[in-house]
Amino acid sequence: MANPPRKAFPLRLDPALHAAIERSAAGDLRSVNAQVECLLREALARRGVKLDAPPAVKRGRPAKEDGE
């Protein structure tokens, strides 16, 4: 089952802010994009904005198909 398409848009950041997000992402073993999304979700939750849980991402190798 494919995940729904994601909304892409340009985001301009101060270089120092981007560097801080990069360091934070590396510490959490995430991409910068995933870290920004996580930080936004946390900030919205603190403000009481309810969101649906993000879709689960399957990790690892795909299952073997019959005949392989």
- Summarised one tens digit per residue, pLDDT across range 11-31 is 999 999 999 999 999 999 999
pTM above the 0.75 mark?
no
- Summarised one tens digit per residue, pLDDT across range 28-48 is 999 999 999 999 999 999 999
3-state secondary structure of 30: coil
In this structure, how many other beta carbons lie within 10 angstroms of the beta carbon of residue 35?
19
Q: What is the mean pLDDT of residues 50-58?
A: 79
Domain range list for the chain: 15-46
* Local structure of residue 64 (DSSP, 8 states): P
